[in-house]
Structures are given as structure tokens and as C-alpha cells.
Amino acid sequence: MLDFIYYPVSAVLWVWHTAFAALLGASSGLAWVLAIVFLVMTLRALLFRPFMAQLKFSRALTEMQPKMQEIKKKHAGDREKQAAAIQQLQADAGVNILTGFLPIIGQTVVFIGLYHVLRSFKDPNVANYVFSTGQVQSFLHAKFFGAPLTATLSTAGSSFGTVAAVAIPLMVIAAISTHFTARAAISRQQPPADGAAGQQARIMNMLSQWVFPVGVLMFGPVMPVAILLYFVTQNAWTFAQQHLVASRFPQPQPRADTVKP
């Protein structure tokens, strides 16, 4: 049903694994770890333009704040007129609420694709999308610090200690980094604007700062080690990207009006 997502994600993972397997050996667990890391890096690089569109969206809202305040004063006590005027202002400025969701939508699609592809490595005698049976067998035997990449805390069984020693630190790192990455991003933002776009921004801030980190901890026990690696890599990329963009494209400061003597 979602093969249009699964095959591209599988193909990118195949390319990176093939490259690293040529250097480290087809049975190398490190080759699979690096393939997952570089898959995330590749797909996040492709999402850089939507990320910049989201940045422009948030800055456009900031620049509209003075006009929004004027609208609130002009239509004080009439929320319907305020909402209509703010929506018209956003439309005139070309602000599209969907733009704020594009990076999150893209990352969600990638996660769904990767999660499905990795969970589909089940039968060592059955090919998995673009992967041959030999590569399927290689993945099923791949380990990260002794923990199988396919293992989860909930199904570890007698290997629980080994899996927990790897999975729990990855879960904690992913959750903490998700929170602080979101917190750093929010600290660079101006207070959300009024209207639908501002409400959308407040919802996204709350989700990214609290709901997503808690979600990692809640669902971490049923996630394979390979998926936890994905989360850690994803957060590392986001953290680095935010700091790079903040240093190269600083938030413009509102200019004070020139007062003539």
C-alpha cells in the first residue's frame, strides 16, 4: 500500500550498506549501523529545503506581529473581525500554515518507511524489497555492541541484559536530545502570533518539546535497536542543523522606528 515510501527508503539504505559492506565486509554489523546513520543523513539533507521554508514561515509570522497588534486594537472586542483580518493579512503575506508542517511530515514519512523496512527483515530465506536473501541474513545477524539490531527490550528474553545495556541509553539519549533540541529551537523564536498560524506554532512547540520525548520513552521498549539508532542520529542532525542555520541566517531583529526631532 505504501510501497512508494518503502522502496525509496529501502533503496537508499541498500546503497549505503553496499558501500560500507564493500569496505567492512558483508557480515559486518558496523556496516549496517553506518548504513542507517547515512540513510538518515541523506534523507534529512533532502528535507533541508522544507526546513528552510519552515524557517521563513516562522520569521514571516514574526514580521507580521506589529500589524496583528494593530488589527487587535482596531477590532477590539470583535473576535470574528480580528480572525478574518489576520487571515487576510497572512494570505497577503503568502504565509501558508501547511509550510510549518512540511519538515515534520517528511520526517514522519521517512520514519514510517524505515520502521517498516527494518521490521520486514524477518525470514532469512525471503528477500526484503531491494535486499537479497544474503543481505537479509546479514542484517538478522548484525549487532551493535553485542545487541542485535533487530532486538527490542520487550522481546529480548534471555538476552535482556545485553539489549538493555544498549537500548536504554539510546532511548534516554534520544528523549533528552529531542527535548533540548526543541527547547533550543523555541528559544530562538519570537512569541507565537495570533490567529490560526500562531495556534499551529504553539501546538508544534508543545509537541516537539514534551510529547515527542515522552513518546520515545514510552515506545522505546518495543522499538528495535536499529530504530533507536535512527532517533539518535536524527536528533544529532537536527541539533547541528539548527545551530548552523542560526549562525548563518540569524533571526532579524525588528527595527525601531526613526523618531525625528
Say how far apart CA 175 and CA 154 lie, in whole Å. 18
Say how far apart CA 129 and CA 255 lie, in whole Å. 55
Which of 138, 117, 139 is closest to 128 using CA atoms?
117
* Beta-ladder partners of 143: 148
108-142 confidence digits (pLDDT tens): 888 899 899 998 999 999 999 999 999 999 999 99
What 8-state DSSP symbol labels residue 122?
-
- Whether the CA torsion 40, 43, 46, 49 is positive or negative: it is negative
What 8-state DSSP symbol labels residue 159?
G
Say how far apart CA 119 and CA 110 lie, in whole Å. 14
Task: Give me the pLDDT at residue 259, please.
Answer: 37
Task: Give me the pLDDT at residue 96, please.
Answer: 66
CA distance readout (Å), 127 to 17, 58, 124, 255: 15, 44, 8, 60
* Beta-ladder partners of 131: 128
Exposure string of 41-62, with b = 16+ CB inside 10 Å and e = fewer, is eebbeebeebbeebbebbebbb
- Whether the CA torsion 73, 77, 83, 85 is positive or negative: it is negative
CA distance readout (Å), 15 to 12, 104, 138, 156: 5, 25, 15, 29
Task: Give me the pLDDT at residue 198, please.
Answer: 65
176-212 confidence digits (pLDDT tens): 988 988 887 777 666 665 666 567 677 878 888 889 8
Say how far apart CA 196 and CA 214 lie, in whole Å. 26
Question: 156 with 146: CB under 8 angstroms?
Answer: no
What 8-state DSSP symbol labels residue 144?
E
Q: Say what the pTM is.
A: 0.78
> Which stretches in the chain have pLDDT values below 50?
254-261
